């Protein structure tokens, strides 16, 4: 499930950065050429927008019938296109993402643990990123939790606050349904019931979040579900 | 420049999550309907991929001639589409991103400072996220630094290590050309010459990175360029 969230167990994709005119229909024109080559787009985003142009980033599934050089030439030949470059894929550079949300004091300590542990796994060839946002208020926190399910490459969420419940807990159930692992600090509020795992110490919580998603850890979240540490 | 990196000073976009069949041509079909409505796609990504379907997330520039309800109905009517939902935009939920790369020990401390400072600005209505990856080696670090220029909503990079130079310094010059602000810890290697600003204390460096991109701070990176603290 965690691997699926990255690139579906498929081979490393062809990654292209295309600088093109920023106008309605640009993406439609680019996707026509890619479709004509029979390539499946596994990831796309618009990385940079300037006055009159934008950089669109594509990852394409590798396929024996897709000739990368001819495809790049055909994209380059479009009148809306200024440049095409090959790039390493985000999955290769930044890998899986753990998202930490909550209060500044707690988020900072969770990240100290998570980054130190991710370092140990990344040295062994994994790619684990730790992303954060400090936020106040049930509505903001619930929106941030729900958005994790649609953040590219996100696999786990850590709730790092001193009181969270209500709509935040509902958001936790929703993202768990979509395959996101959720850890919570111990705190007042219903999120501790909604989370997969509750850890009181923030540094330890960050470490365990990384262990739960790392390939090179022997930590099985299924055996820890519902536990409090 | 910093605001441009988010949504180009334009009004809040219409954000849609579309679950559709995962096959070559899906994105081309979806963008056709959007193009027929005259809407400009300002952001797109593929959030979630399952066995046979994927969730594609679009942000569309608001335009008086685009009727959101009719557009959603027309997308829903496509045979490849299973569901369409409106969602809050990532710019609204996660905002600007500061990316911290380097060694686990230093990245953790930079984030403690950055998250505490981001908390103070987010309470006043901003949205600043702090994203990290601990990495080892010139090649990995240079790739991570270069990728910042194509990460959606990324505005600043912090180099948090104990020795960085060579290709990492070249990557710093490249991303600065693309409008990314670069801060560095004080360390051996040529990145301290390449960065906009060098700060010795990691917590202070994280705080300053946030101040450099926050709307509600009176910190002007142009007046600090080339300084060492």
Interface predicted TM-score (ipTM): 0.78
Partners of residue B28 in chain A, C-beta under 8 Å: 28, 31-32, 34-35
Measure the CA–CA gap between A175 and A178, rounded to whole angstroms: 5
Tens digit of each residue's pLDDT (9 = 90 or more) over A134-145 = 999 999 999 999
**Residues within 8 A of A (CB atoms), B 3-32 only:** 4-5, 7-8, 17, 22-28, 31-32
Tens digit of each residue's pLDDT (9 = 90 or more) over B12-34 = 578 898 999 988 889 999 999 99
Q: Distances in Å between the alpha carbon of A49 and those of A12, A54, A118, B89, B161?
A: 27, 4, 32, 16, 30
Q: CB distance from A65 to chain B under 8 Å? A: no
Q: Which 3 state secondary structure label does DSSP give B99?
A: strand
* Cβ-defined contact of A111 to B109 (cutoff 8 Å): no
Residue of B nearest to A17 (CA): B150
- Tokens matching residue B44: 């797109």
Nearest to B46 by CA among B180, B152, B175, B146: B152
Partners of residue B161 in chain A, C-beta under 8 Å: none
For A184, phi and psi rounded to 5 degrees? -135, 145
Best A15, A41, A102 residue to mutate vs chain B (most B CBs within 10 Å) = A41
Provide the terminal-to-terminal Cα distance of chain B, rounded to the nearest Å: 25
How many beta carbons lie within 10 A of that of residue A21, not counting itself?
Answer: 15
Tens digit of each residue's pLDDT (9 = 90 or more) over B153-207 = 899 999 999 999 999 999 999 999 989 999 999 999 999 999 999 999 999 999 9
- Cβ pair A68, A48 in contact under 8 A: no
Average pLDDT over residues A62-79: 87
The alpha-helical segments, DSSP class H, found in B52-128 are 68-76, 90-93, 104-123
pLDDT: is A4 or B117 the higher one?
B117
pLDDT: is A5 or B184 the higher one?
B184
* Cβ-defined contact of A115 to B122 (cutoff 8 Å): no
Tens digit of each residue's pLDDT (9 = 90 or more) over A114-134 = 999 999 999 999 999 999 999
pLDDT at B12: 56
Measure the CA–CA gap between B224 and B229, rounded to whole angstroms: 10
pLDDT at B4: 35
pLDDT at B88: 77
b/e map A137-146, b = 16+ CB within 10 Å:
ebebbbbbbb
């Amino acid at each position: 499930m965690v691997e699926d969230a990255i690139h579906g167990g498929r081979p490393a994709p062809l990654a292209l950065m295309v600088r093109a005119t920023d106008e309605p229909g640009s993406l439609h024109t680019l996707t026509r050429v890619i479709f004509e080559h029979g390539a499946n787009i596994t990831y796309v985003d618009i990385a940079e927008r300037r006055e009159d142009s934008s950089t669109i980033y594509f990852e394409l599934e590798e396929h024996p019938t897709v000739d990368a050089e001819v495809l790049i030439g055909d994209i380059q030949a479009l009148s809306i296109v200024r440049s095409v470059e090959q790039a390493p894929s985000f999955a290769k550079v930044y890998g899986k993402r753990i998202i930490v949300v909550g209060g500044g004091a707690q988020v900072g300590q969770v990240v100290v643990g998570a980054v130190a542990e991710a370092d140990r796994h990344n040295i062994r060839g994994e790619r684990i990123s730790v992303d954060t946002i400090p936020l106040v208020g049930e509505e903001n926190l619930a929106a941030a939790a729900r958005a994790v399910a649609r953040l590219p490459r996100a696999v786990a969420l850590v709730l790092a606050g001193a009181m969270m419940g209500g709509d935040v807990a509902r958001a936790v159930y929703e993202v768990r349904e979509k395959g996101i692992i959720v850890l919570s600090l111990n705190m007042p509020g219903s999120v501790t019931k909604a989370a997969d795992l509750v850890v009181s110490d923030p540094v330890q919580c960050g470490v365990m979040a990384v262990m739960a998603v790392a390939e090179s850890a022997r930590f099985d979240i299924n055996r820890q579900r519902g536990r409090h540490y």
